[in-house]
Amino acid sequence: MNHKYTSLLAFCFLVLAGTVYAGNPDRQGEAGAAQLLINPWARSAGLHSINTSMVTGTDALYLNVAGLSRINNTQFNLNHTRYLDGADISLNALGFAQRIGKGGVFGVSLVAFDMGDFDLTTADTPEGSGATFSPSFFNMGLSYSHLFANRVSVGVTVKFVNESVSNAGARAMALDAGVQYVTGENDNFKFGISLRNVGGKMRFTGEGLGVQTGSTNPTFDYPITYYQRSAEYELPSQLNIGASYDWLLGRSSRLSLLGNFTSNAFSRDQVGAGLEFGLGQNFTLRAAYKMEFDAPQGSLEASLDNGFAGGFSVSLPLKKGSSSRLALDYGYRYTEIFSGIHNLGVRIDL
């Protein structure tokens, strides 16, 4: 590989590794905006988000933006997630990727949460006023990835994160960065690193934090409104390091073995492994298992992002002889509570 690509890869590794080791494990549980750790894309969700080394296209907008550049030309991706099936929580995600120039790809992602309606309560009506409200949680990302000589790809995402209700909200900007390296006689060994959710702190502000009291002046009685200052909280930054190896079966099939280590700045670290079988371009079957260090498995002490995951993809050409394809993706993640997490997506490659 060209020397300049080797230097670029080493530089990216040093920057990402140096950033993650700045964390403090004593701060576990102190971060907010946990929705940033929920994978909305069915393909990578079916592998429990351990495919840092080989994720491609719009799925890379969540896990490792470096893989965004490994598309043919244009890709649309629309996904729906039933989060903790039975809890009436869902996610909708829209992804778009477009090749620009020789090696660059520009991407846009929008992820919105639907948590249903909540009864509006106040100090005067603690049992409910009859009105309802719906929280607004969403994040939007703008991404760019570049592929060098079909070996090294790097990428970066700028994200806007929002959490709000009708009279209060918190907002922040965050950065994701990643790198992928492909080698081997048939490009069958892949390595990837991604750093996610590095950004400023969030704090709720707005009219909802205002409190009105009477005047302390004995002569004039007038209302006084003051605003309480809420505590700041940080984003759940995360480092992923993954590798995979492909065994080529015949002319068009493959079996891939994947492994991944996740270092969470505000929760326990995780390790996972999985398999993906591809039958040509038309069908892909995947399964993975992820475990959390120092957390009893099969108990509520472990996070939801553990255990078994599986999924499949069916991809067909839009017309005979065309390189454009329409795909259906499905992913399932087992959870100890409720009925698991289901991801369903429709993907168009042009």
**Residues 252-296 pLDDT 10s:** 899 999 999 999 988 889 999 999 999 998 999 999 999 988 766
Mean predicted lDDT score pLDDT of the chain? 88
Instruction: Report pTM.
Output: 0.88
Determine the Cα–Cα distance for residues 199 and 236; give it in Å rounded to an integer: 9
- What was the pLDDT predicted at 20? 46
- What was the pLDDT predicted at 304? 80
The total domain count for the chain is 1
Residue 125 has what DSSP assignment? -
Amino acid type, 259: G
Domain of 309: which CATH number? 2.40.160.40
Query: Is the confidence at residue 166, as pLDDT, over 70?
Result: yes
Q: Which of 36-45, 115-124, 208-217, 240-249 shows the lowest per-residue confidence on average (mean pLDDT)?
A: 208-217
- What was the pLDDT predicted at 302? 66
Tell me which residue range forms the domain holding 321.
Answer: 3-349
- The pLDDT confidence band at residue 297, using thresholds 50, 70 and 90, is low
Dihedral over alpha carbons 147, 270, 79, 201 (to 10 degrees): -80
By three-state DSSP, how is residue 33 classified?
A: coil
- The pLDDT confidence band at residue 26, using thresholds 50, 70 and 90, is low
